[in-house]
Structure 1
Amino acid sequence: MDHQKIIIMPMFKRSSANPILLPNSKNSWENKATFNGCPAQDGDKMHFLYRAIGSDNVSTIGCAESLNGAKFKNRRQFLQPEFDWEKYGCEDPRVTKLGSSYYIFYTALSEYPFRAEGIKLGLAVTKDFKTYKKYSVTNFNSKAMALFPGKIGKKMVAILTANTDSPPAKIGLAFFDTPQQMTSPAYWNKWYKNVDKHRLVIERAENDHVEVGAPPLKTKYGWLLFYSYIQNYFTPPATFGIEAILLDLNDPSKIIKRTTKPLLTSETDYEKFGNVPNISFPSGAILTGDKIDLYYGVADTACAVASCSLKELLKEMS
């Protein structure tokens, strides 16, 4: 499909401050790229985690602070490879607060040259964004995992993308009785053997590719999930778009509403030009009243934010 003919749902307004986070030439660990940022609100302050690439081309996870969600200070390297299962990089953090802890899932790279078998998920748990505990999570090719910001029934629930690098990718739900199950090889062996039972089917065509974007937002209407929808992934030119689904509050395997075309694609210069051109990838979201602030990575180089009304968005979903 011709990129110029993609029809979008034009309800998101890009911030005039975009791109809101750029590489910092003074910091060797983040002088090439700072993208795919995910916010976590902590009172009046926002912690903003993002993927950073520096002089050594190894991805690590940075942390910055903000009072308004657009200007950042106190940038520092927060997570970097420490164990063999993440030896070659920590990518694309997704953070959710549940109880008194923040659960940060990220892509962990254990092999180089990169191949699907060495691309899995890691978890860091923190209460203060200073100290943390790390865990290896999945034992199969997977990326893009996020915890729901509230229990469903008595269970913790996560959404993740399996087979991201050995497609077709599959977005699925995982239910945990205890936090320990999140990192249990036995749990994940059973989950992966039955992956199709856990799957949310949101692709519209066989040539399309999907990946979890921002951690789910809880609204009174349902769980709102922004995700990456790549049209014509297997028959380029591909188009990276941002889309959304609304899931039932009590049974997130039920899709209530969905978008039928992209909410946002790469149109501005900062979205079209960079380390990897024409990528706009959803990575985090904040809901304040009726206002959604959607954070997304642009051209695998920087972070941006766009806003819209929750009610207006839901009106346009079918």
Structure 2
Amino acid sequence: MPRLRHLPLRLQPDAARVVIRPFHVAVEPRGLNPSQRGRARRIVDSVLAMDARSCLAELGLVYQDFGDRHRDITEIFERRYRQMAAELDMPMALHAPCRALIGAYFCHEYSYAAAALMNPSIVPHPNQSGLAEGTMRFVLSLRAVGEGHISSVEFREGVVDADGNFELLPLPLVAMAVEGQVEQDVAMLMRERRTALSGTVLFPVTAAQRNGLEDLRLVRFVEDDGQVIYYGTYTAYSGTAIASELLTTADFNMLSLRPLDGDAARNKGMALFPRRIDGRYAMIGRQDGESLYFLQSDDLLRWDGGDWFAGPLHPWELVQIGNCGSPIELDEGWLLLTHGVGPVRKYAIGAMLLAKDDPRKVLGRSAVPILSPADDDREGYVPNVVYTCGAMALGRRLFLPYGIADSMVGFCWLDIDDLLAELV
């Protein structure tokens, strides 16, 4: 087992991190008598019946309770009012306090990371300016879980250097949920440039994502012409069904969330290679739920078929194996972090080295895990699990963030040469 340098930092769940989200109330058709009117119209009618002084007083209490907990809360209430006005066919010419108060009644505060933080992924930051040689700025994604076991994606920014020093940028005082538009199951989301990426939260926005965006696997993808774009595969969970989807962004300001099509996209845990192979997009998938497959496609949004190339082999992974993020290109080949499930459903992390010209050829794999639950990193929401959705190479060292017991996130370094020497 290669030697790991564990870092003391642990990212923990934090119930104090909150965002404003829509509070959904069923909307009944117009024309019903007062006894038949639903809650939404009753709330609106009650606010409209207030005199101006009462409306201002009630809105003042709202601002007193929540104004310093959220950025641009008046704009949030206005956007929510406009949504409800469209649903309820309300007039748009109401005075501003009345609009804001109606919007507030149809919002709620959500603690997006109260239950757990887990399954991180990491990529180089789009902005590498102003850094010392050997230092890299990065973007870290995290799966955050709140009330109702709803999964969202939050981001952190930080810097690492060649000596192994590591620092996360401070979180802003308030978090922001990304707003956007949804058309034909495609979500186009815009992060406000005046807010930091750290503290930005992506929530489910389509029916297919209703119960969560799970296990984002980010990759910095370089096209054949040198263009850089960031992709991220993730699992959309509706509450009854799963599907693979794709995040696309050039700079983490404008993001699109699109469903993937094809028989291979009906499974969890797809990870995109960081460049084309033989002119085609390439993925690692797991069509049978227990083994690894190599997939190629000319269409980034459609994935079919796939070639089996590795299944459970060693005792620590006999139940199933899967990828732990996008392959990392080395001179020696593609370094693929894997997870394995063993006795008593213990999740551990290992690795494989795949041939660069044909990733279906396994040149070496971990006979024992490189990271396994033990002692202080086995207790949590789901015990006996360590898991990652991606690591980052810096020179000949690997910076590895990892989830602990589906509850919190730890960090470690390992030497790539030591790791390759252990692959048999």
Aligned mate of 1:142, from 264, 267, 278: 267
Higher helix share: 2
Equivalent residue, structure 2, for 1:262: 369
Q: Gapped runs of 5+ residues in structure 2?
A: 18-110, 129-135, 161-165, 172-197, 223-227
Equivalent residue, structure 2, for 1:6: none
Per-residue CA deviation, residues 18-66 of structure 1 (Å, 9 max, x unaligned), is: x2x2212211111211111101112242111110011242001111111
Aligned mate of 1:159, from 279, 284, 296: 284
Per-residue CA deviation, residues 233-273 of structure 1 (Å, 9 max, x unaligned), is: xxxx232211100000111011111111111111141x211
Contact 1:60 1:77 in 2 (8 A): no
1:204 aligns with 2:296: no
1:290 aligns with 2:362: no
Give the letter aligned to residue 144 of structure 1.
G
Give the letter aligned to residue 35 of structure 1.
M
Contact 2:137 2:159 in 1 (8 A): yes
Equivalent residue, structure 1, for 2:206: 83
Contact 1:225 1:246 in 2 (8 A): yes
Specify whether residues 73 and 105 from structure 1 end up closer, same or farther in structure 2 by C-alpha distance, changes over 3 A only.
farther
- Distance, in Å, in 1 between the alignment partners of 2:395 and 2:216 is 25
Equivalent residue, structure 1, for 2:122: 39
Equivalent residue, structure 2, for 1:238: 345
Give the letter aligned to residue 218 of structure 1.
E
Q: How does 1:270-281 map to 2 (within 5 A)?
A: 271-281=377-387
Q: Gapped runs of 5+ residues in structure 1?
A: 1-8
Equivalent residue, structure 2, for 1:221: 332
SS of 2:138's equivalent? strand
1:174 aligns with 2:295: yes
SS of 1:73's equivalent? coil
Contact 2:383 2:405 in 1 (8 A): yes
- Distance, in Å, in 2 between the alignment partners of 1:103 and 1:78 is 17
Equivalent residue, structure 1, for 2:5: 13
Higher strand share: 1
Equivalent residue, structure 2, for 1:29: 112
Q: How does 1:28-107 map to 2 (within 5 A)?
A: 28-42=111-125, 43=128, 44-68=136-160, 69-74=166-171, 75-99=198-222, 100-107=228-235
Contact 1:226 1:243 in 2 (8 A): yes
SS of 2:282's equivalent? strand
Aligned mate of 2:255, from 128, 132, 135: 132
- Distance, in Å, in 1 between the alignment partners of 2:282 and 2:365 is 20
**What is the number of residues matched between the two proteins?**
282
Give the letter aligned to residue 172 of structure 1.
Y
CA drift of 1:208 comes to 1.9
Give the letter aligned to residue 12 of structure 2.
L
- Distance, in Å, in 1 between the alignment partners of 2:318 and 2:121 is 28
- Distance, in Å, in 1 between the alignment partners of 2:311 and 2:368 is 12
Identity of aligned residues (%): 25
CA drift of 1:10 comes to 4.5
**TM-score normalised by structure 2 residue count:** 0.63
Structure number with bigger Rg: 2
- Distance, in Å, in 2 between the alignment partners of 1:155 and 1:301 is 37
Equivalent residue, structure 1, for 2:181: none
SS of 2:391's equivalent? strand
